[in-house]
Amino acid sequence: MARFFAEQACERFTAAGDRVSLGRALNNLGGIDALLGDTAGALESIDAAIAVLTEAGQDGDAAQANSSRAQILLLCKDAAQAEPEARAAMAVLDGLATHAIESGTVRVTLGTALAALGRPDEAEAVLREAEDRFQALELPSHTARAVAARADVVADRGDCGAALGLYREALALVQDVRF
């Protein structure tokens, strides 16, 4: 259903000549395709989004789509390609207050890629940056995601006790009821 409506949106934005909204809708369509397991279709939509948004002069939105591309490459187990994609997105997003959340999100993606590439120190540093950004924005669920990703890195190092503490911290961040 979501894919159907995203495709309809793309058709309508194309008919209306609204390139910016088309690019954003293509990025969303790519995310939907990825969730449905169609990573090839997802990359195709996101590549189209990057091209449309770049052509429209929307560097921040194009970088956000580039971040989406890095996330999908991670889903495809291609951390080596995800790293430069995430770094390129981060270079643009860091200077844009309008994309502060995505600036943190791309750090989680980069940290995950670095961990997969066997670079845990770099991964942990980048994930701490993501945590700091999300905490500054008062986004507990996003912070929890960064903390959990850091816990994965710590667990991969073999420090199960420290990882458990981080997983508990992430869980506490998303609790609905506090006593």
pLDDT tens digit at each of 179 positions of the chain: 889 999 999 999 999 999 999 999 999 999 999 999 999 999 999 999 999 999 999 999 999 999 999 999 999 999 999 999 999 999 999 989 899 999 999 999 999 999 999 999 999 999 999 999 999 999 999 999 999 999 999 999 999 999 999 999 999 999 876 66
Rounded alpha-carbon distances, angstroms, from residue 77 to 39, 46, 57, 112, 123: 11, 17, 31, 11, 16
For residue 68 the two structure tokens come to 């989406």
* Residue 57 phi, psi (nearest 5): 75, 20
CATH code for the structural domain at 81-179: 1.25.40
The half-sphere exposure of 77 on its side-chain side, counting CA atoms within 13 A, is 0
What does the domain layout of the chain look like in residue ranges? 1-57, 81-179
Closest CA to 147 of 113, 114, 176, 172: 172
Closest CA to 91 of 53, 64, 131: 64
Mapping DSSP to helix (H, G, I), strand (E, B) and coil, where does residue 95 land? Answer: coil
Backbone angle region of 126, left / alpha / beta, with phi > 0 → left and psi within -120 to 50 → alpha: alpha
* Rounded distance between C-alpha atoms, residue 163 and residue 161, angstroms: 5
Closest CA to 143 of 112, 170, 116, 106: 170
Residue 1, Cβ neighbours under 10 Å: how many?
Answer: 6
- The residue written with tokens 């989680």 in the block is 108
